[in-house]
Structure 1
């Protein structure tokens, strides 16, 4: 059964917008390959991300995120099984933080 993980974190001070855009671009490619969908938002200080897909693949990705030194203070907001993906056409899309917060509110 697929799962959804929603998390928030703080971006390390040395990670700039250009690097974040590069991360999103790489995530789009690898998520497409791995069957993961989701959405991410970031500003200079915070990241909020929703990941959906096969349990083993999403959990493996989240484990890598937890070990990545570009994120600090990672807080898991949701982690549960889902019937269907909320973002089936978005392998990884960047949206404004306010939009993602409203999307997360709809998921609860």
Structure 2
């Protein structure tokens, strides 16, 4: 079964409280588990960057919920496509705190491919997936 992934950036709704955010993440984790989707949400207080992956039908269902959510505005799809394997299988959905620099870097990163950079890639060029993997690594190792 082919796997798909989506990554987007958006602006946090002005009235989104910390309690509501935690509730949304818990609800998303439950839904994603049923849909076979895994992912991570980075939040700097003003913006979100979310990456999720899974079977095509599950990703489509999750993305539809994302697009209909009132917890954010100005959704910008950074990439959508096939992945050969899960990059972040650790959580059905997990929110990670992030600073504005990291969220900005992810929003401007090269998401043209979901494959992590390899030794044959141009030295010093990190794809969005690489930046995300580095940001997530300390939380995975702590789990």
Name 1:71's counterpart in structure 2. 72
Check if 1:104 corresponds to 2:131: no
TM-score relative to the length of structure 1? 0.86
TM-score relative to the length of structure 2? 0.67
Check if 1:3 corresponds to 2:7: no
Gap regions ≥5 residues in structure 1: none
Q: Distance in 1 between matches of 2:35 and 2:51?
A: 15
Check if 1:87 corresponds to 2:88: yes
Alignment RMSD (CA, Å): 2.4
Structure 1 segments (4+ residues) deviating >6 Å: none
Which is higher, the Rg of structure 1 or of structure 2?
2
Assess, with a 3 A threshold, how the Cα gap between structure 1 residues 14 and 45 changes in structure 2: closer, same or farther: same
Q: Distance in 1 between matches of 2:3 and 2:49?
A: 20
* Greater strand proportion: 1
Task: Give the aligned length.
Answer: 108
For residues 5-27 of structure 1, the C-alpha deviation after alignment (integer angstroms, 9 at most, x for no partner) is: 00010011011121111111111
Q: Distance in 2 between matches of 1:107 and 1:32?
A: 25
